[in-house]
Chain A
């Protein structure tokens, strides 16, 4: 009993770190472009598929870790330029546009990759004993990579010129433009970065979940939950909420079935929305 609780709690924690990566992309896109991105789950799915393709093309798993975010960034930048920019951040229209995008991405993957879900073998096999449970090494490794990517992204936001631009445009677009920041280019880069984060999350998660053209459908509500519970536009809050939610779901799953776990986190989210719409962590982080 204690073992299952630990195992599922660990699984939840690790899944939470990966979700945090994806949700961070969603939050960045939302905060800067005011886009409600229905296609974000599919950005993640594209990441898993890119990892699968790069493994089957080169035989080397690690190339996917580079290829997924890079290709994701490029696709994201192109999408922003072609689809998102013409609608000028009108949120209602962005829902329709990204819904269309979601259909297109899923369909392209279905054509190229096929409709059957596949499993990918983890590049690191074996287990290690952890709190008395034999735990898969790759999952621990994935958690470490996700954590490193999260830290890396926050460092990028705080300490590079581009990151500062992104924060500036998000804070006050008019002033940022007046100071000579190329806001349009920042938008393109932000959307690309959001896609890259989700695609990287996909590449990391590919050996843990299944690679499937509908793989993003379940991830999307979870990411939105993390963004809302963490507080719209509160990036560290988003990360904390993702980890917390997945951890809780893992815990509940050890005593009840996954659906009950999912329902409880949805109820928790409704409560947060109604009682603390500014997010759970406002006041802690700022």
Chain B
């Protein structure tokens, strides 16, 4: 029971904090941190796409930056070249990311483990080099800038992401919705199929699951998550650049996920928060902040191989056991 109360308390505390951010943060420090938290939310969705594949289906993708980049370029090119307004551009970015995920997934999910990790990075490298060389269209490493269209317009009332508070709540709403969707998928029969494949793909196929199709569905869903985060990041930065498609971006997503806790719903959020907050705090004082990031990644896998959320779950489990010793009947209903 203690565990229940603690977890509900933490969840409510985090939710209250996230809602209060636009008023709380300027009162405590300065507005800069509102934009950092916005960025954390966006990147945590990117990490969630790594987590959906690795944590729930057992496929370690090292190429999620490709779908992030497609979401980003979908938005930027949609606005800049096709003259789309906000929502069509958003949809175009997500749709192109999912289409790309479908096309590459058809090939990639045939492979497993090392081969899967490597083919995903190869696909992302192919399109990275294409994006770098197609400079007139993509702007290469310099990227392309665009000006933001308004999100809603009712008569003379205009809501646009240029207002930092509106931008924050827009990102928070979209990210929360995506996490909620992911939660629903994981707890659906489809999600159970994912877990069965993660734990033993041979056994999953023997009980009649179509491993290939399920993996492909997961891959496209992960493409959706990465695409949404890329599209949001394009709106957030008002630009798109090929450099976000490089394999090091994918690698960061993997690191955030594993350090936060793969296979847990909020692990990616925790990992992303940790690394971005450290980057922002340290980089303003010391230019060699990568040293700390690298050290932290190593320490995390040595001392918390299941990630920070995994560590937390371990503590909670011990609380449960202690409770069980006091009143065995109470824990029967608790989720293990």
- A interface, CB within 8 angstroms of B: 36, 38, 83, 86-87, 90-93, 95-97, 99-104, 106-108, 110-111, 217, 221, 224-225, 228, 232, 257, 259-260, 262-263, 266-267, 269-270, 273-274, 277
Contacts from B to A (Cβ < 8 Å): 54, 60, 62, 107, 110-111, 113-115, 117-119, 121-123, 125-126, 129-130, 132-133, 247-248, 251, 254-255, 258-259, 262, 288, 290-291, 293-298, 300-302, 305
Q: Is the CB of A111 within 8 A of B125?
A: no
A95-B254, A104-B291 known; A83-B298 Cβ under 8 A: yes
Q: Does the CB pair B251–A259 fall under 8 Å?
A: no
Contact status B298-A97, CB under 8 Å: yes
Bound form: Cα–Cα A52–B54 in Å: 41
B298 x A101 contact (CB < 8 A): yes
Show 15 residue pairs from A and B whose CB-CB distance is below 8 angstroms, ordered by the A residue.
A36-B117, A38-B251, A83-B298, A93-B258, A95-B258, A99-B251, A101-B298, A103-B293, A104-B290, A107-B290, A262-B129, A263-B126, A263-B130, A270-B126, A273-B122
The answer to whether A273 and B305 touch (CB under 8 A), given A217-B248, A266-B126, A267-B126, is no
Which one, B107, B129, B294, contacts A102 given CB within 8 A?
B294
A-B CB proximity, top 7 nearest: A100-B297, A103-B294, A104-B294, A100-B294, A259-B133, A100-B298, A93-B301
**Alpha-carbon distance A103/B294, docked complex (angstroms):** 5
Question: With contacts defined as CB atoms under 8 Å apart, how many contacts are there between chain A and chain B in the complex?
Answer: 116
Dominant secondary structure at the B interface: helix
Chain A residue contacts of B122, Cβ below 8 A? 221, 225, 266, 269-270, 273
Alpha-carbon distance between A103 and B288 when the two chains are bound, in angstroms: 10
CB nearest to B112 among chain A residues = A277
Q: Are B296 and A91 in contact (CB under 8 A)?
A: no
Known: A221-B247, A266-B129, A274-B110. A97 touches B118 (CB 8 A): no
Judge whether A96 and B255 touch: CB under 8 Å. Answer: yes
Q: Which residues on A sit within 8 Å (CB–CB) of B113?
A: 91
Q: In the assembled complex, how far is the CB of residue A89 from the closest CB belonging to chain B, in whole angstroms?
A: 12
Q: A38-B251, A107-B291, A263-B130 are in contact. Are A274 and B107 (CB under 8 A)?
A: yes
A92-B262, A95-B254, A273-B122 are contacts. A106–B115 as well, Cβ < 8 Å?
no
